[in-house]
Amino acid sequence: MRTEAIADMLRREDIDALVCARGGFGAARLIPYLSEVGPLPHKPFMGFSDITVLLLSWLRSGGPQPVWGPMVAVSLGDDAPPRAVELGRRALRGDLGGAELIGPDDHAQSMVSGTVEAEVVGGTLCLCSESIGTPYELDCKERILLLEDQNEDLYRIDRYLMHLRLAGKLDDACGFILGRTFVGDDVTGFARSLDELLADYLAPLGKPVLANVPTGHAEYCLPIPFGVPVRMAVGGSPSEHRLTVLGGRSLALSSPA
């Protein structure tokens, strides 16, 4: 079984971290079996997209250190700037303590200015929404909520965001990080643009919102550790934005919820 293979690799002394090859679908099929493999060591486990469900599950149960970050088949190609590649390497070494994850060249944008210190949680929007009611349900109480997706219709994004709002998840979060690839090429047939839609849901909350971040399905994927305190400062220009991992070399996971 895939769960046993993952557990075996995490337990091997000659393996310090695991990075997923790709996303796709089917990761949720592993969830019922994760409890059967027993305790797993606290090693970095990195991926995004469909891997969202595994990252959320381990954030709740403990074990591997979940890192939202690049995968082998995507986001590690020639389009990734050297700084992003180096951050990915540091993430796999468990060496992101003190790292500045966002730089001026990443062209992140401010939706709501402000500063907050908290852990990050989240992932691909549709999977965060669908996690509600499951054992790995998104828990963003007093956390920064990361949301991104790709090639979605605007009406579906509206549906996912409304689901998160009605479940209290947007109110629970203390800030937001937004990716830059939510929609596909065809954005006709909806009354609002993507920016207007996101602002409708998030701006009235008055919490810091850093948008257009190159992570997840973007042209390159900046790694962001989950369950580790960061300081997010959203200013008036790209040179003022900061996303800093707090603490030293050891990225200790917080106690499971």
CA distance linking residue 183 with residue 180, whole number of Å:
9
217 is catalytic: yes
Q: Pinpoint the alpha helices (H) of 52-112.
A: 52-61, 82-92
148 is catalytic: yes
Choose the catalytic residue: 57, 119, 129, 148: 148
pTM of the model: 0.91
Angle separating helix axes 154-166 and 194-202, nearest 10 degrees: 10
Q: What is the mean pLDDT of residues 132-149?
A: 96
Choose the catalytic residue: 119, 152, 217, 241: 217
Q: Lowest-pLDDT range, 7-16, 26-35, 53-62, 241-250? A: 241-250
129 is catalytic: no
Residue ranges and CATH numbers for the domains of the chain are: 2-245 (3.50.30.60)
pLDDT, tens digit, 9 for 90 and up, residues 195-233: 999 999 999 999 999 999 999 998 889 999 999 999 999
Choose the catalytic residue: 49, 57, 75, 131: 49
